[in-house]
Structure 1
Amino acid sequence: MLTRLLRPLSWLYGGITDFRNYLYDKQISRVYRPPIPTVSVGNLTVGGTGKTPMVDYILHQIQSYGPAATLSRGYGRRTTGFRLATPADTADTVGDEPLLLYRKHGPAVTVAVGEKRAEAIPRLLDARPDLRAIVLDDAYQHRPVQADLTLLLTDYNRLFFRDYPFPGGRLRERRHGARRADAVVVTKCPDLLREAEQQQIRLELAPYLRPEVPVFFAGIQYGQPVVFGGTPRQTPADTPFTLLTGIAFPRPLVDYLKKDYADTFREHLDFPDHYRFAPKDLKKLDTAEGLYLTTEKDFVKLAPLLEESGADLSRFFYLPIEVQFLNREAEFLQLLRRPFVKNS
């Protein structure tokens, strides 16, 4: 009922975003084109489509072309302006997702943040003149920068063509904004998603895409739990554990744990996306017994707090994840190669 009441405001919001996009489409608003291959990863929906795992995947794939960087606004940080990630940075200084990428790829990959990416990219190139590629994280609505390849992600559990603009829905702009995409990746798919259902989703996507735009399907591959520090006396596979998350849409993770860790998964402490954990939150944890499992993104925020508190790190684990294409991965990689061939 509330969603229907808010629908007129969704139309108003959608109209505002349409006008903004019109200014960029007609080149009335200025657009910056980076001088090196640039890949943009983003979505139409607010939060939770798996952008960071996809950026991680792309960074692994493009490093063979030369030094690469990733640039995002650094959502949730307490600093402003352009900044390069260093070993001294925290989630407060660069944001949780950039810090996660830096911990996984640095120093092989340059990780930078900056709200105004059209201004940040020249500064990034001045600081790292050897760069051969930039991956823009969460940049689908950042129209001042024109990337060579624009990837639109949509969560299988919350497909954008079944949603509405804010505040009556979770879309950042109207559905036809998908026409800017060079490819669509449906993320967080079940491992055994039938070809018939894939084809049905393609048919439902088609009205919102350019005719030549390919649609890919990818799921999440979960790794083995990794202990925060020290040698674990128990693991989540053999000891009851509590899941602790601060992500936008934890349902796929919860479903996975209920299936693969059915005997030991005890409860789920669910915090908002990009939640800034504080010492008071640690006091709420049951420190008497059991283990705790969290995500990689939450790990980079929790680990410093736990170390400061003197907690037993061997009782805290995080679960690594990777993107896993259900099919046609070679075709996707060929598409990813296109900006580098064009600029060679």
Structure 2
Amino acid sequence: MKIIRIILFPIVPIYFVITWLRNRLFDLGIKSSKSYDFPIICVGNLSTGGTGKTPMIEYLIRLLKDEKSVATLSRGYKRKTEGFILADENANADTIGDEPFQFHRKFQEVTVAVDADRQNGIKALRALKLQPEVILLDDAFQHRKVKAGFNILLTAYNNLYYKDIVLPSGNLREPRSGANRADLIVVTKCHKDISEGEKKKITSKLKIKSNQQLFFSYVDYAVDVLSESDSLELTKLPKFTLVTGIANANPLVDFLVEKGLKFDHLEFSDHYNFRTTDIEDLASKSLIITTEKDYVRLSSHKSLDGKLYYIPIEIKIDNAAQFNAAVKSFIS
């Protein structure tokens, strides 16, 4: 992969200019961007993935759901349907995508929808009889046809955007200057004990604007792994098979190693579509631990009943009161 990225380096300037010019046309109003008179919060990143958008959406749901009627709108990556789909009792990972289905399973009081055309999705949501008061746009930072009122940009601690370059040799979807559109920037997947000195260094490197706020967060793993009907204490697990189909499994692997747990790791690409042969192989394992995103796709296979569990996570934000106040100030 590194060799391919080196070979494709001459394309980097071309990609940079195209994406920079596209953003500039939106900034100047030459390309149109639709604004709305109700709260829309966009959660996104500059990179191709692995920054923790799903846990952030869940954080915002928990923050707002008791005060406002909330809807999430995602593209529904790798779903087997098209157009606008509203999650209902028949929804699954194939119809709406794994991450939206995860939202739907966990938050029954929240409206979950998917549509690649974000403008059309917002219009359809606002046409519902039970009209959402707040819409959370998942992974929509580059969808400039919608002008969200509030933008939360995520960048992972181990791959901060100031260290990166654009595709295809780097991981950035657009130039680093795109970060200027963010209201809040969150450095995700930090160490719990990150020092104030390191925070200051990162703040300086990210070149935060006077109108922006920067926060740091880390992943908090649960003490038990769960299935639909059972739970097991994490630290007492016998040797197991870890299955991941996410952009960056390193933080989870490091956490499990630090706990002294014994496991074999089967690592797949992000949003991997498990094949019949994969399921047959997994069915031969005695105990499988996976991420919640992978669980919503794997749990439909009956051959994995009784041996498939996931480890729940939440994000914890330093200065959470300040973060929450910024979000609620926008909502109000």
TM-score per shorter chain, which class?
Answer: over 0.9
5 Å matches for 1:109-258?
A: 109-206=110-207, 209-231=208-230, 237-258=236-257
Q: Counterparts of 2:38 and 2:8 in 1: how far apart (Å)?
A: 43
- Gaps (5+ residues) in structure 1? none
Render the CA deviation track for 1:268-301: whole Å, top value 9, x for unaligned.
000100011233211122626x311000000100
Task: Give the equivalent residue in structure 1 for 2:316.
Answer: 324
Q: Distance in 1 between matches of 2:58 and 2:234?
A: 26
Aligned to 2:279: 282
Distance in 1 separating the partners of 2:229 and 2:322: 42
> How far has the Cα of 1:131 moved from its partner?
1.4
Instruction: Name the CA shift for 1:131/1:259 in 2 (closer, same or farther; >3 Å).
Output: same
1:156-194 deviations in Å (ceiling 9; x for gaps): 011111011000101000111111111100000000001
Checking the alignment, whether the CA contact within 8 Å between 1:53 and 1:321 is kept in structure 2 is yes
SS at 2:194 equivalent: coil
Q: State the Cα RMSD in Å.
A: 1.7
User: 2-side partners of 1:321 and 1:230: how far apart?
Assistant: 18
Say if 1:67 and 1:109, in contact at 8 Å, map to a contact too: yes
Structure-2 change in CA distance of 1:229 and 1:38 (3 Å): closer
Question: Secondary structure of 1:141's match?
Answer: coil
The separation in 2 between residues aligned to 1:21 and 1:224, in whole angstroms, is 44
8 Å CA contact 2:45–2:141 kept in 1: the answer is yes
| Partner deviation per Cα, 1:69-116 (whole Å, 9 max, x = no partner) | 00011111011111101121111110000000110112x100000001
- The corresponding residue for 2:299 is 303
Q: What CA distance in whole angstroms lies between the structure 1 residues aligned with 2:226 and 2:67?
A: 33
Deviates more, 1:159-168 or 1:231-240: 231-240
Instruction: State the partner residue of 1:315.
Output: 307
Sequence identity of aligned pairs in percent?
Answer: 40
**Alpha-carbon distance in 1 for matches of 2:81, 2:315:** 30
Change (3 A) 1:232 1:226: closer
The alpha-carbon deviation at position 244 of structure 1 amounts to 0.4
Instruction: Give the superposition deviation at 1:36.
Output: 1.5
Alignment deviations for residues 21-68 of structure 1 (CA, whole Å, 9 cap, x no partner): 111101111211123111000000001100000000001101133211
| TM-score for both structures, normalised by structure 1 | 0.92
Q: In structure 2, what is the Cα distance between the partners aligned to 1:293 and 1:279?
A: 19
Q: Are 1:105 and 2:107 counterparts?
A: yes
For the Cα contact (< 8 Å) 2:186–2:214, is it kept in 1? yes
Which secondary structure does the structure 2 equivalent of 1:285 belong to?
Answer: helix
CA distance in 2, matches of 1:60, 1:154: 21
In structure 2, the CA distance between the partners of 1:116 and 1:240, relative to structure 1 (3 Å rule), is same
- CA deviation string 1:225-244 (max 9, x = no partner): 33324557896623111100
CA 1:320/1:27 → structure 2, altered by over 3 Å: closer, same or farther? same
CA contact (8 A) 1:232 1:314 kept: no
- 1:21-60 matches, within 5 Å, as 21-60=23-62
Name the CA distance, whole Å, in 2 between partners of 1:223 and 1:128. Answer: 37
Contact 2:76 2:100 (8 Å CA) reproduced: yes
Residue number in structure 1 paired with 2:78: 76
Preserved contact between residue 9 and residue 167 of structure 1 (Cα < 8 Å): yes
The answer to whether the 8 Å contact 1:236/1:293 transfers is no
Alignment-mate amino acid for residue 338 of structure 1: S
Q: Structure 1 residues 158, 235: closer, same or farther in 2, change over 3 A?
A: closer
Find out whether 1:294 has 2:293 as its counterpart.
Answer: no
8 Å CA contact 1:233–1:314 kept in 2: the answer is no
Q: Secondary structure at the match of 2:83?
A: coil
